[in-house]
């Protein structure tokens, strides 16, 4: 299956939208969109505090390639956390109308002629999505009386410029997230309700199965959004005062160190409104309330330590409590992960949907039932299998005439539409059709001891190994036991070796992220996937990279290593360093092949190739400033993760534009870990026989000393200059008059010190860039390439400066560059 970001088509569509990028509101006004401006694909509004961003996105960033859909995902208008490395959307505007127009470059976000904020198709002049508000007192042909502003709390508001009245806000139309400061309740006068609805899946933000709303009686209802509408949890102020309920909630939150003092819940009621809300005293924290796909209301907190979202509070506590969250013919166990599982002799209806978090489709039979009815006579060889310690399914039919379990079973067997029965406390109940909401006794919110007997085909049940009464002989038992013992011993040895060899950087993942394991491929499979290695994507000193498509249609990049002396060492380094690490800005290793002398690595395919291609080679795409700054921050985050968040510090050792790949949304991912070196936390340096690429090498590396993570910092600084300028760090440059030395980093830092940043920025941008961001990036670059490694920053410091969280004074001119400058001046004078 192709990648979620649409490996080829989606990338081409995005490329076409980036040709001659306009000076958008993202660069003109930062957090505001006015009538004369437009927001295109790749542009974004950013709140003044830098915490939130608004723009167009394609869902599924970070989702495993093995579960990507076969169709191209649409584009959505959304708001997300701007400084969180895990792409996290908090609001979607057109969640029911994704943009699927192949000419995506004609689509923009604008203030329409009626004053609404709208997604417009410039070719057809049609409105794809709009805020649908009636702007009063509007006259004239040009929009000058409304603007859209993204505030520091993540709220998008439309403001009337003449009266400063708020006409519309995204807080009133939540998707599945409620941010601090948003109201959850109702307007008593207008009858307007705030309602949050779950998403369909991890890659489809459309309305899902569950919703939360405050009813007219002041009761918070979490219920099934689709028919049948079943309320599975409520929070009422009828029996207790809201203050009492809020006190209980605060006590629960204070018991957990992660949430202690983190939020202040409130309840407000007056003649016009009734609503709940919450605030967070710690403005630097990232937090939100979420109704997840399964219907649980959760409080999500960003953990800097694990670089992931943590669920610190959930209601209901048992994920199995929401009605039919696992779909038909499943058993839900709140203590298991995943908590949904198919009943005996059933299989997942859609493996893809399950992997994407949507289990509502449930499971289907492996073997059809054997039951026929003719001349009022029923013939069946079906059997029943017990499921013990469960809550009986939803909507049972009581059978009054069955006084024993045998009679109850016979009643179900004689009806071909009967799928299960139970006989508990001398009461017979049967079910027809799908079995829903069968929950295991997990000790959370469920202590049921009931038994449900599901109807299965006899041959299917026997093939599954149930009720097989044939007894094995002693010889079979002994032989089987011996084989199993050997297998278990071999497995334990393999796991021990594997864990010690590859367990470099394991970070707790959310359930949605899937397994962090990698796949072992056969050489013949990879040869077939790459059409006998016929389509080369690139190559280097250690090997060549080829495009391939796996049997499940997943597009991949296959790296075939060569070079007898280094291949084993480089192979181990690459697998060890990225085999088990997970970060949005690091390329994902899907698997590898190791057969005799053949060494191959299988990566996720990056549809937009390398950064080098877009900066230095003939390419129709000119990366706009917003995309460039996104790449700069993303690479910095990826390096910070490698240096500071892994169990062992990983030094990449070869940071350059060729090793920075871009996905369909131009999000950067660091690749090629063949030179990577590991540094234990008790050590600060490591010797390596590898050398990076000329032009990106730190001075201390050239002298042969043991390296530190600061070599990556130096390389990053050099790459940063290239992204800003759109030109190589070449030591030579031709002019019309003469040939002379003009090392670009020397020019860049000299102009930076003179305050002339504009002349450093790529002229292809036509002056369309954020001057403050450009100056900040230039200062960071100068800071990173200091001669003395101790004067360079850590990548964590780099990230904070780039995100505007830390101020940076003008760094000094590096001594080596200063010497080059002096020499150049002397040559010019003579």
Q: Decide: helix, strand or coil at residue 225.
A: coil
DSSP string, 474-510: HHHHHHHHHHHHHHHHHHHHHHHHHHHHH-S------
d(CA 68, CA 60): 8
CB-based contact 213:194 (threshold 8 Å): yes
> Among all residues, which ones are annotated catalytic?
654
Strand duo 519-520 + 589-595: pairing: parallel
d(CA 218, CA 238): 7
Token pair of 127 as six digits:
């409105």
Cβ within 8 Å of residue 171, ≥6 positions away = 155, 179, 181, 182, 183
Cβ within 8 Å of residue 729, ≥6 positions away = 695, 696, 718, 721, 722, 743, 744, 745
CB-based contact 340:326 (threshold 8 Å): yes
| C-alpha distances out from residue 200 to 209, 211, 356, 363, 439, Å | 7, 12, 9, 18, 22
Cβ within 8 Å of residue 678, ≥6 positions away = 504, 576, 577, 648, 649, 650, 651, 686
The CA R_g of the chain, rounded to the nearest whole Å, is 31
d(CA 473, CA 475): 5
Q: Where are the beta strands (DSSP E) in 605-743?
A: 649-651, 660-662, 668-670, 677-679, 732-734, 739-741
Annotate 715-746 with b (16+ C-beta within 10 A) or e (fewer): bbbbbbbbbbbbbbbeeeeeeeeeeeeebbbb
Q: Decide: helix, strand or coil at residue 572.
A: helix
CB-based contact 507:645 (threshold 8 Å): yes
| C-alpha distances out from residue 369 to 435, 462, 469, 600, Å | 15, 13, 22, 47
Q: Where are the beta strands (DSSP E) in 483-583?
A: 519-520, 536-539, 543-549, 555-561
CA 372 to chain centre: 49
DSSP string, 99-152: B--S-GGGEEEEE-TTS-EEEEETTTTEEEEE-----TT--SSS--SEEEEE-T
Token pair of 531 as six digits:
């059409």
Token pair of 517 as six digits:
């394991």
Query: What is the CB neighbour count within 10 angstroms for residue 702?
Result: 10
Q: Decide: helix, strand or coil at residue 79.
A: strand
d(CA 184, CA 388): 40
Q: Which residue has the tokens 């002349």?
A: 759
d(CA 349, CA 147): 47
Q: Name the helix (H) or strand (E) containing 168.
A: strand 166-169
Helix-then-strand count for the chain, H and E: 17, 47
If we measure between CA atoms, which residue out of 58, 21, 63 comes closest to residue 604? 63
> What's the N-to-C CA distance of the chain in angstroms?
65
CB-based contact 318:442 (threshold 8 Å): yes
Token pair of 485 as six digits:
């013992």
| C-alpha distances out from residue 313 to 249, 755, 759, Å | 10, 50, 51
């Amino acid at each position: 299956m192709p990648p979620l970001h649409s490996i080829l088509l989606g990338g081409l569509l995005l490329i076409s939208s980036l040709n001659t990028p306009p000076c958008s509101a993202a660069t003109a006004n930062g957090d505001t969109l006015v009538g004369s401006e437009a927001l295109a694909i790749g542009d974004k509004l950013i709140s003044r505090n830098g915490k939130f961003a608004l723009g167009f996105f394609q869902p599924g960033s970070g989702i495993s390639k093995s579960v990507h859909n076969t169709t191209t995902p649409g584009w959505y208008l959304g708001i997300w956390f701007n400084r969180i490395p895990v792409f996290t959307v908090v609001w979607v505007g057109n969640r029911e109308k994704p943009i699927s127009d192949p000419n995506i470059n004609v689509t923009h976000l604008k203030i329409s002629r009626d004053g609404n904020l709208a997604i417009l198709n410039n070719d057809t002049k049609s409105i794809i999505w709009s805020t649908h508000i009636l702007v009063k007192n509007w006259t004239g042909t040009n929009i000058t009386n409304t603007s859209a502003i993204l505030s520091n709390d993540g709220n998008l508001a439309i403001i009337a410029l003449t009266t400063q009245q708020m006409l519309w806000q995204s807080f009133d139309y939540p998707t599945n997230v409620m941010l601090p400061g948003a109201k959850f309740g109702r307007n008593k006068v207008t009858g307007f309700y705030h309602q949050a609805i779950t998403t369909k899946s991890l890659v489809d933000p459309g309305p899902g199965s569950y919703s939360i709303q405050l009813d007219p009686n002041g009761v918070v209802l979490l219920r099934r959004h689709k028919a049948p509408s079943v309320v599975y949890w409520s929070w009422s102020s009828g029996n207790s005062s809201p203050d009492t309920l809020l006190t209980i909630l605060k006590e629960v939150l204070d018991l957990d160190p992660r949430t202690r003092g983190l939020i202040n819940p409130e309840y407000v009621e007056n003649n016009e409104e009734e609503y709940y809300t919450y605030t967070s005293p710690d403005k630097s924290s990232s937090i939100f309330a979420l109704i997840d796909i399964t219907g649980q209301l959760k409080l999500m907190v960003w953990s800097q330590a694990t670089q992931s979202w943590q669920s610190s509070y959930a209601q209901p506590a048992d994920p199995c409590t929401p009605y039919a969250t696992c779909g038909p013919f499943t058993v839900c166990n709140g203590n298991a992960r995943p908590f949904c599982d198919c009943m005996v002799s059933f299989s997942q209806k859609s493996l893809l949907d399950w992997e994407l978090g949507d289990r509502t489709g449930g499971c289907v039979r492996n073997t059809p039932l054997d039951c026929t009815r003719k001349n009022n006579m029923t013939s069946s060889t079906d059997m029943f299998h017990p499921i013990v310690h469960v809550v009986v399914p939803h909507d049972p039919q009581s059978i009054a005439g069955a006084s024993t379990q045998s009679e109850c079973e016979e009643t179900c067997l004689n009806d071909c539409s009967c799928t299960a029965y139970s006989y508990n406390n001398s009461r017979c109940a049967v079910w027809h059709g799908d079995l829903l909401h069968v929950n295991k006794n997990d000790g959370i919110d469920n202590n049921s001891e009931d038994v449900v007997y599901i109807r299965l085909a006899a041959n299917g049940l026997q093939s599954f190994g149930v009720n097989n009464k044939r007894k094995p002989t002693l010889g079979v038992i002994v032989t089987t036991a011996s084989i199993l013992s050997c297998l278990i011993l071999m497995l334990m040895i393999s796991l021990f070796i594997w864990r010690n060899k590859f367990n470099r950087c394991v970070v707790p993942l959310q359930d949605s992220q899937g397994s962090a394991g990698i796949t072992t491929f056969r050489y013949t499979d990879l040869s077939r996937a790459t059409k006998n290695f016929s389509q080369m994507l690139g190559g280097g000193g250690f090997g060549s990279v080829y495009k391939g498509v796996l049997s499940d249609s997943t597009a991949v990049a296959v790296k075939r290593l060569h070079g007898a002396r280094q291949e084993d060492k480089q192979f181990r380094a690459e697998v060890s360093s990225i085999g088990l690490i997970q970060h949005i800005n690091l390329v994902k290793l899907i698997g590898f092949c190791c057969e005799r002398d053949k060494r191959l690595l299988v990566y996720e395919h990056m549809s937009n190739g390398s950064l080098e291609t877009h900066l230095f080679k003939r390419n129709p795409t000119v990366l706009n400033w917003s995309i460039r700054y996104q790449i700069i921050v993303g690479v910095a985050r990826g390096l910070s993760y490698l240096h500071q968040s892994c169990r062992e510090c990983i030094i990449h050792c070869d940071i350059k534009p060729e090793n920075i790949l871009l996905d369909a949304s131009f999000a950067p991912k660091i690749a090629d870990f063949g030179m990577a070196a590991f540094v234990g936390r008790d050590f600060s340096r490591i010797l390596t026989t590898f050398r990076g690429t000329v032009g990106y090498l730190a001075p201390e590396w050239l002298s042969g000393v043991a390296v530190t993570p600061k070599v990556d910092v130096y390389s990053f600084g050099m790459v940063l200059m290239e992204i800003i300028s759109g030109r190589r760090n070449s030591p030579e440059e031709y002019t019309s008059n003469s040939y002379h030395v003009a090392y670009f980093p020397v020019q860049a830092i000299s102009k930076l010190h003179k305050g002339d940043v504009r002349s450093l920025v790529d002229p292809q941008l036509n002056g369309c860039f954020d001057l403050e961001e450009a100056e900040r990036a230039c200062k960071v670059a100068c800071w990173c390439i200091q001669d003395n490694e101790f004067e360079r920053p850590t990548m964590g410091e780099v990230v904070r400066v780039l995100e505007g969280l830390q101020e940076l004074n003008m760094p000094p001119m590096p001594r080596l560059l200063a010497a080059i400058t002096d020499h150049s001046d002397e040559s010019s004078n003579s």
